[in-house]
Amino acid sequence: MIAPSILSADFARLAEALDAIRGADWVHVDVMDAHFVPNLTLGLPVVESLLKATDIPMDCHLMIEDPDRWAVGYAEAGAHNVTVHVEAAKDPVRLARDLRAAGAKAGLSIKPGTPIEPYIELLEEYDTLLVMSVEPGFGGQSFIADVLDKARTVRDLVDTGHLNLVVEIDGGINADTVEQAAEAGVDCFVAGSAVYGADDPARAIEGLRAQAASAHERFTA
Protein backbone atom coordinates (compact mmCIF):
# COMPACT_ATOMS: atom_id res chain seq x y z
CA MET A 1 0.00 0.00 0.00
CA ILE A 2 1.15 3.55 -0.77
CA ALA A 3 0.10 6.38 1.57
CA PRO A 4 1.16 9.79 0.24
CA SER A 5 1.85 12.32 2.98
CA ILE A 6 0.15 15.68 2.52
CA LEU A 7 2.86 17.20 4.69
CA SER A 8 4.71 17.55 1.37
CA ALA A 9 1.73 19.07 -0.45
CA ASP A 10 0.85 22.74 -0.88
CA PHE A 11 -1.22 23.54 2.23
CA ALA A 12 -3.02 26.29 0.33
CA ARG A 13 -4.32 23.72 -2.19
CA LEU A 14 -5.04 20.62 -0.14
CA ALA A 15 -8.23 19.66 -1.98
CA GLU A 16 -6.30 19.64 -5.26
CA ALA A 17 -3.51 17.69 -3.57
CA LEU A 18 -6.02 14.99 -2.65
CA ASP A 19 -7.36 14.85 -6.21
CA ALA A 20 -3.81 14.31 -7.48
CA ILE A 21 -3.40 11.04 -5.53
CA ARG A 22 -6.64 9.25 -6.34
CA GLY A 23 -4.75 6.00 -6.92
CA ALA A 24 -3.40 5.99 -3.36
CA ASP A 25 -4.39 3.34 -0.84
CA TRP A 26 -4.39 5.74 2.10
CA VAL A 27 -3.66 9.44 2.52
CA HIS A 28 -1.25 10.11 5.38
CA VAL A 29 -1.96 13.16 7.52
CA ASP A 30 0.70 14.32 9.97
CA VAL A 31 -0.74 16.09 13.00
CA MET A 32 1.93 17.93 14.99
CA ASP A 33 1.43 20.10 18.05
CA ALA A 34 4.83 21.85 18.46
CA HIS A 35 5.25 20.06 21.81
CA PHE A 36 5.84 16.36 21.14
CA VAL A 37 7.74 17.41 18.01
CA PRO A 38 9.21 20.83 17.17
CA ASN A 39 6.75 21.63 14.41
CA LEU A 40 3.12 22.69 14.09
CA THR A 41 0.96 21.49 11.21
CA LEU A 42 -2.79 20.97 11.36
CA GLY A 43 -5.43 19.56 13.66
CA LEU A 44 -8.88 18.04 13.85
CA PRO A 45 -10.84 20.85 12.12
CA VAL A 46 -8.65 20.56 9.01
CA VAL A 47 -8.88 16.76 9.09
CA GLU A 48 -12.68 17.02 9.24
CA SER A 49 -12.59 19.22 6.13
CA LEU A 50 -10.24 16.85 4.34
CA LEU A 51 -12.52 13.92 5.07
CA LYS A 52 -15.29 15.73 3.18
CA ALA A 53 -13.00 16.28 0.19
CA THR A 54 -11.89 12.70 -0.50
CA ASP A 55 -12.95 9.08 -0.24
CA ILE A 56 -9.35 7.88 0.14
CA PRO A 57 -9.03 6.27 3.60
CA MET A 58 -7.35 8.75 5.94
CA ASP A 59 -4.31 7.67 7.93
CA CYS A 60 -3.84 10.18 10.75
CA HIS A 61 -0.43 10.15 12.44
CA LEU A 62 -0.66 12.05 15.72
CA MET A 63 2.70 13.44 16.78
CA ILE A 64 1.20 15.10 19.83
CA GLU A 65 1.33 15.15 23.59
CA ASP A 66 -1.56 13.54 25.45
CA PRO A 67 -2.98 11.42 22.61
CA ASP A 68 -5.12 9.67 25.22
CA ARG A 69 -7.18 12.87 25.33
CA TRP A 70 -7.25 13.84 21.66
CA ALA A 71 -6.90 10.76 19.46
CA VAL A 72 -10.44 9.41 19.70
CA GLY A 73 -11.79 12.62 18.16
CA TYR A 74 -10.05 11.74 14.89
CA ALA A 75 -11.62 8.30 14.92
CA GLU A 76 -15.05 9.76 15.61
CA ALA A 77 -14.57 12.18 12.72
CA GLY A 78 -14.11 9.27 10.32
CA ALA A 79 -10.38 8.66 10.03
CA HIS A 80 -9.67 5.12 8.83
CA ASN A 81 -6.49 4.63 10.88
CA VAL A 82 -5.38 6.73 13.86
CA THR A 83 -1.79 6.30 14.96
CA VAL A 84 -0.37 7.45 18.30
CA HIS A 85 3.19 7.37 19.58
CA VAL A 86 4.15 4.81 22.18
CA GLU A 87 6.44 7.47 23.66
CA ALA A 88 3.45 9.75 24.32
CA ALA A 89 0.51 7.49 25.20
CA LYS A 90 -0.17 7.10 28.91
CA ASP A 91 -2.46 4.06 28.61
CA PRO A 92 -1.86 2.61 25.12
CA VAL A 93 -4.01 -0.49 25.67
CA ARG A 94 -7.08 1.49 26.64
CA LEU A 95 -6.41 4.00 23.88
CA ALA A 96 -6.26 1.27 21.23
CA ARG A 97 -9.56 -0.12 22.45
CA ASP A 98 -11.15 3.33 22.50
CA LEU A 99 -10.01 4.02 18.94
CA ARG A 100 -11.46 0.76 17.73
CA ALA A 101 -14.71 1.39 19.59
CA ALA A 102 -14.93 4.75 17.82
CA GLY A 103 -14.69 3.04 14.44
CA ALA A 104 -11.03 3.42 13.45
CA LYS A 105 -8.08 1.13 13.12
CA ALA A 106 -5.61 1.67 15.96
CA GLY A 107 -2.01 2.41 15.03
CA LEU A 108 1.09 2.59 17.20
CA SER A 109 4.16 4.52 16.09
CA ILE A 110 7.71 4.19 17.34
CA LYS A 111 10.61 6.63 16.95
CA PRO A 112 13.91 5.53 15.36
CA GLY A 113 15.70 5.35 18.71
CA THR A 114 12.96 3.48 20.56
CA PRO A 115 13.44 -0.32 20.72
CA ILE A 116 10.55 -2.50 19.62
CA GLU A 117 11.08 -5.42 21.99
CA PRO A 118 9.42 -3.91 25.11
CA TYR A 119 6.22 -3.32 23.13
CA ILE A 120 5.73 -6.61 21.31
CA GLU A 121 2.95 -7.75 23.64
CA LEU A 122 1.30 -4.34 23.37
CA LEU A 123 1.07 -4.73 19.59
CA GLU A 124 -1.55 -7.42 20.08
CA GLU A 125 -3.96 -4.54 20.76
CA TYR A 126 -3.11 -2.66 17.56
CA ASP A 127 -3.93 -2.90 13.86
CA THR A 128 -0.92 -0.98 12.54
CA LEU A 129 2.69 -0.50 13.56
CA LEU A 130 4.21 2.68 12.10
CA VAL A 131 8.00 2.42 12.11
CA MET A 132 9.55 5.88 11.88
CA SER A 133 12.55 5.87 9.55
CA VAL A 134 13.33 9.53 10.28
CA GLU A 135 13.00 11.57 13.45
CA PRO A 136 9.37 12.74 13.58
CA GLY A 137 8.66 16.40 13.06
CA PHE A 138 9.78 17.39 9.57
CA GLY A 139 9.51 16.05 6.04
CA GLY A 140 12.40 15.62 3.61
CA GLN A 141 14.81 13.85 5.97
CA SER A 142 17.17 11.02 5.01
CA PHE A 143 16.12 7.41 5.48
CA ILE A 144 17.50 5.61 8.57
CA ALA A 145 18.05 2.04 7.38
CA ASP A 146 18.79 0.66 10.86
CA VAL A 147 15.08 0.81 11.76
CA LEU A 148 14.35 -1.96 9.27
CA ASP A 149 15.36 -4.49 11.92
CA LYS A 150 12.18 -3.50 13.79
CA ALA A 151 10.10 -4.15 10.70
CA ARG A 152 11.75 -7.55 10.24
CA THR A 153 11.09 -8.49 13.86
CA VAL A 154 7.41 -7.65 13.61
CA ARG A 155 7.03 -9.19 10.15
CA ASP A 156 8.32 -12.50 11.53
CA LEU A 157 5.73 -12.35 14.31
CA VAL A 158 2.96 -11.59 11.81
CA ASP A 159 4.03 -14.39 9.49
CA THR A 160 4.10 -16.90 12.36
CA GLY A 161 0.64 -15.87 13.56
CA HIS A 162 1.72 -14.18 16.78
CA LEU A 163 0.56 -10.74 15.61
CA ASN A 164 -2.05 -9.52 13.14
CA LEU A 165 -1.27 -6.03 11.93
CA VAL A 166 -0.07 -3.87 9.06
CA VAL A 167 3.61 -2.90 9.14
CA GLU A 168 3.91 0.69 7.95
CA ILE A 169 6.99 2.87 7.48
CA ASP A 170 7.32 6.65 7.36
CA GLY A 171 10.32 8.78 6.47
CA GLY A 172 12.63 9.06 3.47
CA ILE A 173 10.65 6.61 1.35
CA ASN A 174 11.36 7.03 -2.34
CA ALA A 175 12.49 5.04 -5.39
CA ASP A 176 15.87 4.43 -3.74
CA THR A 177 14.55 3.11 -0.41
CA VAL A 178 11.13 1.55 -0.99
CA GLU A 179 12.60 -1.80 -2.04
CA GLN A 180 14.74 -2.05 1.10
CA ALA A 181 11.64 -1.48 3.19
CA ALA A 182 9.58 -3.99 1.21
CA GLU A 183 12.26 -6.64 1.56
CA ALA A 184 12.14 -6.06 5.34
CA GLY A 185 8.45 -6.97 5.32
CA VAL A 186 6.78 -3.56 5.26
CA ASP A 187 3.18 -3.51 3.96
CA CYS A 188 2.41 0.22 3.76
CA PHE A 189 4.77 2.98 2.61
CA VAL A 190 4.32 6.64 3.52
CA ALA A 191 5.85 8.82 0.82
CA GLY A 192 5.88 12.60 0.82
CA SER A 193 8.23 14.40 -1.54
CA ALA A 194 8.61 11.26 -3.68
CA VAL A 195 4.94 11.69 -4.62
CA TYR A 196 4.22 15.40 -4.33
CA GLY A 197 7.61 16.40 -5.73
CA ALA A 198 6.93 14.42 -8.89
CA ASP A 199 5.50 15.93 -12.07
CA ASP A 200 2.76 13.30 -11.99
CA PRO A 201 1.91 12.20 -8.42
CA ALA A 202 -0.39 9.41 -9.60
CA ARG A 203 2.35 7.92 -11.77
CA ALA A 204 4.82 8.23 -8.88
CA ILE A 205 2.43 6.22 -6.69
CA GLU A 206 2.20 3.48 -9.30
CA GLY A 207 5.98 3.41 -9.65
CA LEU A 208 6.52 3.02 -5.92
CA ARG A 209 3.82 0.36 -5.72
CA ALA A 210 5.42 -1.63 -8.53
CA GLN A 211 8.86 -1.43 -6.92
CA ALA A 212 7.48 -2.54 -3.56
CA ALA A 213 5.56 -5.44 -5.11
CA SER A 214 8.63 -6.66 -6.96
CA ALA A 215 10.78 -6.48 -3.84
CA HIS A 216 8.08 -8.22 -1.79
CA GLU A 217 8.01 -11.09 -4.27
CA ARG A 218 11.75 -11.51 -3.87
CA PHE A 219 11.37 -11.37 -0.09
CA THR A 220 8.72 -14.09 -0.03
CA ALA A 221 10.26 -16.32 -2.73
Q: What is the side-by-side order of every strand in the sheet holding 2-4?
A: 2-4, 188-191, 166-170, 128-132, 105-110, 81-85, 58-63, 27-32
User: How many whole angstroms separate alpha carbon 112 and alpha carbon 15?
Assistant: 31
User: From CA 62, how far away is CA 159, in angstroms rounded?
Assistant: 28
Q: Which of 33, 127, 170, 187 is catalytic?
A: 170
Q: Which of 30, 33, 127, 187 is catalytic?
A: 30
Closest CA relative to residue 62, chosen from 104, 20, 17, 101: 104
- Is 200 labeled as catalytic in the residue annotation? no
Whether 199 is catalytic: no
Q: Would you name the residues annotated as active-site residues? A: 30, 170
